[in-house]
Amino acid sequence: MTDKKNEPAIIVENLTKSYGKLEVLKGISTTVVKGEVVALIGPSGSGKSTFLRCLNMLEVPTSGKIVIDGTDLTDRRTDITRVRQRIGMVFQHFHLFPHMTVIDNLTFAPVKVKGMSKEEARAKGMLLLERVGLKDKADVYPARLSGGQKQRVAIARSLAMDPDIMLFDEPTSALDPEMVKEVLAVIRDLASTGMTMLIVTHEMKFAREAASTIYFLDGGRLLERSEPASFFAKPQTERAAKFLEQVL
């Protein structure tokens, strides 16, 4: 792991995104290194979700450049489908495939997209389910699961594709409070394995403990980028200080 440290995983250059006249991202530049765990925080409407969704082109940037592992995503010739296979994404509302059982949710993409054999995919899927503590739910349909269980399955589904990078878009915002913990535990566990991760979250305690870097966004700009300890102890901008005052 250590030898890969400081190798860039994601390079973002002057990224902007507008919806008509509304400019949501106003030029963001940053580099995420391999194994880095980034927590994106900021008030709602600050552009943090949009920024995250640009990283796998669910939102197409208006201008700027995103380079992941040497591949320029904004280049028209890039096969974005292939790039996405290496970037996992977890959504606020899980988006499990409701017409498939839990294990089928996990094996569908590896089998259909990567051409993995069904047996292999199933074995791998069962290991992942065990890892998120849901081995016994393999053959039930998502409708039978609680929110926390659904989100853990969604994480396992992303991991089944063996991604290099994981994106989390407010993974606990739609959960009842007692279920937040189980999901955060899974994400924290994942962070400790050296996976490159970007997490949009409102869980400040979690961000402080699990992230290696905090990004503070407001008004479509990346205002602060620092280590959790220093950010939470002494934010550099007045805007961040005010935000922390409100949420802590």
Partner 1 sequence: MKRINLLAAALCLLLTVGLLVGSLLPGQASAADGAAPEKTIVMGTSPDYPPYENVDAAGSGDYVGLDIDIARHIADRLGYKLEISALDFNGLIAALQSHRVDFVMSAMSATEERRKSVDFSDYYYFARNTIVSKKENGFASLDELKGKRIGVQLGSTQEAVASGMKDVEIKKLNKISDLIQEIKTNRIDAAIIEDAVAMGYTDANPDLNFTMLEADSSSDGYAIAFPKGSPLTAQFNEALKEMKADGTLQKLVDKWFPEDREAKSKEGGGGFRLNFAKMEKYIGYLLRGVYVTLLFTLVSALFGFIWGGILSLFKLSRFVVLRGFATVYTSIFRGTPLLLQLMMIYYAVPQLFGYNIPALLAAGLAFGLNSAAYLSETIRGGILAVDKGQREASLALGIPYKTMMISIILPQAVKNILPALVNECVALVKESSLVSVIGVADLMRRASVVQADSFLAFEPLLIAGAIYYVLVLVLTSLARLLERRLRRSD
Enumerate binding residues for partner 1 (CB under 8 A): 56, 58, 81-89, 91, 93-101, 108-109, 112-113, 141-143, 154, 157-158, 161, 167
How many Cβ atoms from other residues are within 10 Å of residue 142's Cβ? Answer: 20
Considering the complex, state which of residue 115 and residue 177 has its C-beta at the smaller distance from partner 1: 115
- In the bound complex, what is the minimum distance in angstroms from residue 214's beta carbon to partner 1? 24
Nearest to 205 by CA among 190, 188, 223: 188
CA distances from 96 to 48, 109, 150 (A): 23, 12, 7
With beta carbons less than 8 A apart as the criterion, state whether 157 and 131 touch.
Answer: no
- In the bound complex, what is the minimum distance in angstroms from residue 43's beta carbon to partner 1? 24
Q: What DSSP designation does 202 have?
A: S
Q: How far apart are CA 160 and CA 124, in angstroms?
A: 7
- In the bound complex, what is the minimum distance in angstroms from residue 155's beta carbon to partner 1? 12
Q: Tokens for 16, please give them.
A: 């902007």
Q: Tokens for 2, please give them.
A: 């250590």
Considering the complex, state which of residue 81 and residue 192 has its C-beta at the smaller distance from partner 1: 81
Considering the complex, state which of residue 49 and residue 228 has its C-beta at the smaller distance from partner 1: 49
Helix, strand, coil percentages in the chain from 3-state DSSP, rounded to 5: 40, 25, 35
Considering the complex, state which of residue 81 and residue 193 has its C-beta at the smaller distance from partner 1: 81
- In the bound complex, what is the minimum distance in angstroms from residue 79's beta carbon to partner 1? 10
Considering the complex, state which of residue 49 and residue 240 has its C-beta at the smaller distance from partner 1: 49
Q: How far apart are CA 56 and CA 48, in angstroms?
A: 14
- In the bound complex, what is the minimum distance in angstroms from residue 92's beta carbon to partner 1? 9
- In the bound complex, what is the minimum distance in angstroms from residue 81's beta carbon to partner 1? 5
Considering the complex, state which of residue 157 and residue 239 has its C-beta at the smaller distance from partner 1: 157
